[in-house]
Amino acid sequence: MSAADLSALQRPNDRLWRRRIVNRLMELLAWVAAALAVFFLGVVVWSVAKKGASALNFDFFTKPYAGVDVPHQGLANAFVGTFVIVGLATLMALPFGILIAIYVNEYAPKAIRGAVNLMLDVLAGVPAIVIGIFVYSLIVVTHGQSGYAGAFALAVIMLPFVARATIEVLALVPNSLREAALGVGAPRWRVTLGVVLPQTIGGVLTGATLAVARVAGETAPLLFCSSLATPGTHWNPSQPLQSVPVQIFELIEQADQQSYAMAWGAALVLILFILFASLGARWLATRSKRKIARAFK
């Protein structure tokens, strides 16, 4: 190719110019869309922080809610209630989710594997209020509201998240490891428990953390299952427990400045918790994936 041809390549012509414009335009659109998403998140966090920060003090975390117009009170009852309910829900969902994942990945034939995966996806998409009604008719109608009922409802919501996350990491464990363990004459369950599962702890914790972050703010099922709490801070889940999202809902319904501020304060705590839980989960996920990759390169 001669030098003259090269200079022709560099000379802008009409079509090339239009392509460049379109290219730039699309890039700009994508950038704006991404920026908008971050912008709205920023606005939400900023406005919640602005309105809620003033409510945060020592009393806010240590004293229970005592009613409208009481000075020096807090939401300890709601924090404790959420802690107990979500903790119990995790204790219920984690073993079941792991067992489902073990069945799907280690034992199930292909057809059942696909079906279970599909069902987990559907379950993950079921609106929380539907699960609330389900647990209401199953437990609350006969046994009344309780922390257990609320925890059960949240566990149902958590289950698909835990199971899917565990299935994903189980699939990363190479077959050569299972063969190695089977080769010394170990039965399947020992192989799964002793060799395969220990490789997946990081991934399982990631799924559990994401699921906790997801259900910590869940309001609808708790309205049915655990909202008629008596005043004061309670740890016993056999009675209805207050929770952060339900408390926010109730505070916002009061026509009163202090209640508003406390609602925003609780919202801020909830957002920060979810933010840090998600960050922690991502850190755990990359760490455990790197660990598995290093072990089986």
Partner 1 sequence: MAVSSTIEAAVRVEPKRQPLPPRERLEQVFDIQDLTAIYGSKPALKDVSMEVYRNLVTAVIGPSGCGKSTFIRCLNRMNDLVPSFRQTGTIRYHGQDISGKDVDPVAVRRTIGMVFQRPNPFPKSIYDNVAWGLKVLGMKDNLSDRVERALTQAALWDEVKDRLKSSALGLSGGQQQRLCIARAIAVEPDVVLMDEPASALDPIATQKIEQLLHELKSEYSFVIVTHNMQQAARVADMTAFFSISRGEEGERWGELIEYDETEKIFTAPSDKRTEDYVTGRFG
Structure-block tokens of residue 136 = 């209401």
CB 243 within 8 A of CB 153: no
Q: Which of 12, 33, 183, 255 binds partner 1 (CB under 8 A)?
A: 183
Q: Residue 278 CB, nearest distance to partner 1 (Å)? A: 28
Cβ contact 227:240 at 8 Å: yes
Instruction: Using CB under 8 A, count the residues that bind partner 1.
Output: 24
Whose Cβ is closer to partner 1: residue 145's or residue 192's? Answer: 192
Q: Which of 49, 186, 272, 274 binds partner 1 (CB under 8 A)?
A: 186
The answer to whether 196 touches 177, Cβ cutoff 8 Å, is yes
Q: Minimal distance in Å, beta carbon 103 to partner 1?
A: 15
Q: Rule CB under 8 A: say whether 49 interacts with partner 1.
A: no
Rounded Cα gap, residues 130 and 133, in angstroms: 5
Among 7, 10, 142, 176, binds partner 1 (CB under 8 A): 176
Q: According to CB under 8 A, which one of 2, 10, 13, 175 is a site residue for partner 1?
A: 175
Q: How far is the CB of 204 from partner 1 (least distance, A)?
A: 16
Read out DSSP for 73-137?
---HHHHHHHHHHHHHHHHHHHHHHHHHHHIIIII--HHHHHHHHHHHHHHHHS-HHHHHHHHII
Residue whose structure tokens are 């850190």: 283
HSE of 25, CA atoms in CB hemisphere, 13 A: 6
| Min separation Cβ 159 and partner 1, Å | 27
Binding part of the chain for partner 1, among 131-139, 203-211, 226-234, 288-296 by CB under 8 A, reads: 288-296
CA-based torsion, 105, 109, 113, 114: positive or negative: positive
Ranges within 106-145 binding partner 1 (CB under 8 A): 109-110
Any idea what DSSP says for residue 230?
Answer: P
CB within 8 Å of 227: residues ≥ 6 apart? 145, 240, 242, 243, 246
**Least distance in Å: CB of 163 to partner 1?**
22
Residue 67 makes contact with partner 1 by CB under 8 A? no
Q: Does 178 bind partner 1 (CB under 8 A)?
A: yes
Q: Of the ranges 55-63, 80-88, 190-198, 258-266, which one interacts with partner 1 (CB under 8 A)?
A: 190-198
| 228 touches partner 1 by CB under 8 A | no
Q: Which residue stretch of 12-20, 91-99, 130-138, 185-193 sits at the interface with partner 1 (rule: CB under 8 A)?
A: 185-193
Nearer to partner 1, 2 or 175 (CB): 175
Question: In which residue are the tokens 């110019």 written?
Answer: 17
Interface residues toward partner 1, by CB under 8 A: 109-110, 175-188, 190, 194-195, 198-199, 294-296
